[in-house]
Structure 1
Amino acid sequence: MAIDRQKPTRRSVLALAASAFAWPAVLSAAPLPRIAVIDWAMLETALAIGVVPVAATELIQFREIAIEPEVPQSVTDLGLRGTPNMELLRIIAPDLILSSNFYEYRRPAFERVAPVFSRTIYETGVPPFDPARDAMLALGQKLGREDAARSYIAALGAEIAVLRERVQTRAHRPVFLISIGDSRHFRAFGGDSMFGDVLTRIGLANAWTGTTSYSATAPVGIEALAAVPDADIVVIGPVPPEARDILPQSPIWNALPAVSQGRVAMLDPIDHFGGLPAARRFVRLLGHAGPFLQENR
């Protein structure tokens, strides 16, 4: 789906954003199926269109890493995404299970409990924004929340357009999008990550041109960031506590031009394999990243 290139007004963006979050309150009171969710991107998607599941996986970590949308305390935690508690799932007896291609190997077991609604968002080499949008629309259609889905997508498109307008006055430097593994290693997000896809949509170039597997590289040494000295660096949380303490004293880290020149943005945690809500959180956090969006100096 092409993003609308018409210059938005602040009022139009606020109106769209408000409408996206207002939908669940004004939708009909038609009963929804009781849903259990295995995949985090699908959990984000369901919550974003006003559907609260009865159960989902790894909720403690989700609340620490994905952060949003907020998961009500009423949602039962099914344990690990790869090995959910099947006995508990059978006891809960949902009407529908939301999953993804990451857990296709578990599908026969899930289908013995309830029908499975599965969508593929992340594939190697495929930008995930459009698949995430399609997954939201498909889930909205299935659950009678299509208007909410379309409203959310429109609001996100408007927010991307606003950020695209802001970066037009910024120095046209490429950007490394990374997560920190430890004080000596990082993973770079490529064009098949949600962050890399959104970066392109706001008009910036990804400094990482190497291969990726399901959105990111295997861990590589921090010194690899010196290969593109003009690139800015955006660190997407979470950052391990040990690395957060050691990096500021690391000679290799401090020798990087982006670090020495203050061209690093440290973002709060975002779900690395999230859906459109993760994209929206990335847009908002990047837009508040301070020096990153300063005008061309």
Structure 2
Amino acid sequence: MTKTSQYMTHNRLAQLSRCFSSVLLGFVLVACHSNTTTATRDTPASVHTTQATRILTPDWGIAAELTALGYPPIATGDLRMYEQWMGKPLPKQTIDLGIRYQPNPELIAQLNVDLVIDNFFYEHIRPMYGSVPTKSVLFKAKGDVATWQDFATATIALGQILQDAGNPQGNERVQTYLAQSQQALQQQGQQFRHRYPNIKKLAIVQFADAGHLRLYADNSLFKVTTDQLGVSLVNFHQGNKWGFSNIELAELAKLENDSCLIVIKPFSHMLQAELDKSVLWQQLGFGRERCMAIIDPVWSYGGGIASIRQFADRLSQTSLQGESVAPLNLSSRPLSNTTKPKG
């Protein structure tokens, strides 16, 4: 090969090398731009998020609290149904682990996780985490009557876990979050009492079927919410470990005139059709003579401050219906107990 040929070959290789480097740099810049754009799009403007600690939690209640504090988990379970029950979505980049109580072990093994936060409901899946540290937080009443302090204490414990994991603002954010939450609840309570001065008590239920309901009791998070709102929670029986008692439809007749029946979805069209045919339900008159409202789902099984605020938000966005509702609300369109709710 001549010197001229060698020079041309060397020059050509140099040009190809520079071209390849430029293309590679372009891919890197596009990838960085893409990641930055995604993070900006997926993060709510009102929540400052910190990615210092990569946290996994199978529990929805913990996931909601972490997100509210600005530390959304990188993965949780049953993600498809999360927003329906929790009211607010997790960031789009959150990974779905599959069923919360039976997550995908192969997927967990592939994740880069710094910390797992769960509670005793998920002890059976802890071997899947290998050597990843695991901490436990449980939001629930400590006695027969739930208090704000019960849930605040658990939230403070969560903040300490974040602090110990290398997030220096963990404790500070919790204190701010608790103060803002109480202030928001008290303001919502004032607005509710002004709007509905005749309503002093709330009976909060979910239908199991057309003849049976779950009535949430004093050991549920709804007791904390009603206390913060300045109204009473109707309680016929002591609640079970899940915070409710099972009642029959006929027991709703015991509700007093200053009470309102708050039905938490799911409340299917099939259930509504069955109630339409129920003579007892028609005689009870909820939504006509007696106060009633149907609200979107609230996560009560292990839910924390986020669920307490979620119920208050749902309630404040709903118009109570029935002749027993205060005159201030008479201009609202009446809801018959035969009217089919959306969803």
Tell me the TM-score normalised to structure 1 length.
Answer: 0.80
Change (3 A) 1:23 1:80: closer
Aligned pairs for 1:158-173 (under 5 A) are 158-169=183-194, 170-173=197-200
The more displaced of 45-54 and 287-296 is 287-296
Change (3 A) 1:137 1:117: same
The more displaced of 110-119 and 166-175 is 166-175
Q: Say if 2:263 and 2:293, in contact at 8 Å, map to a contact too.
A: yes
Amino acid at match of 2:104: N
- The match for 1:240 is 268
Provide the alpha-carbon RMSD of the alignment.
2.7
- The match for 2:107 is 88
Amino acid at match of 2:176: S
State how far apart, in whole Å, the 2-side matches of 1:173 and 1:86 are. 49
Q: Say if 1:182 and 1:243, in contact at 8 Å, map to a contact too.
A: yes
Unaligned runs of 5+ in 2: 1-43, 330-343
- The match for 2:318 is 289
Aligned pairs for 1:10-25 (under 5 A) are 22=46, 24=48
- The match for 1:43 is 63
Q: Say if 1:181 and 1:239, in contact at 8 Å, map to a contact too.
A: no
Unaligned runs of 5+ in 1: 1-19
Larger Rg, first or second structure (1 or 2): 2
Larger RCO (CA under 8 A, 6+ residues apart)? 1
Amino acid at match of 1:56: T
Aligned pairs for 1:100-115 (under 5 A) are 100-107=119-126, 109=127, 112-115=130-133
Per the TM alignment, residue 249 of structure 1 is displaced from its structure 2 partner at its CA by 4.1
Q: Is 1:216 matched with 2:261?
A: no
Per the TM alignment, residue 113 of structure 1 is displaced from its structure 2 partner at its CA by 4.2
Partner of 2:296, secondary structure, is strand
Per the TM alignment, residue 120 of structure 1 is displaced from its structure 2 partner at its CA by 1.8
Q: Number of matched residues?
A: 272
Q: Is 1:278 matched with 2:310?
A: no
- The match for 1:6 is none
Change (3 A) 1:125 1:241: farther
> Which residue, 210, 213, 222 being the options, matches 1:186?
213
State how far apart, in whole Å, the 2-side matches of 1:174 and 1:187 are. 17
Tell me the TM-score normalised to structure 2 length.
Answer: 0.71
Per the TM alignment, residue 198 of structure 1 is displaced from its structure 2 partner at its CA by 0.8
Change (3 A) 1:94 1:105: same
State how far apart, in whole Å, the 1-side matches of 2:276 and 2:100 are. 34
Identity among equivalent positions (%) equals 21
Q: Deviations over 1:225-268 (max 9, x none)?
A: 11224331011122234213433443222222544314001111
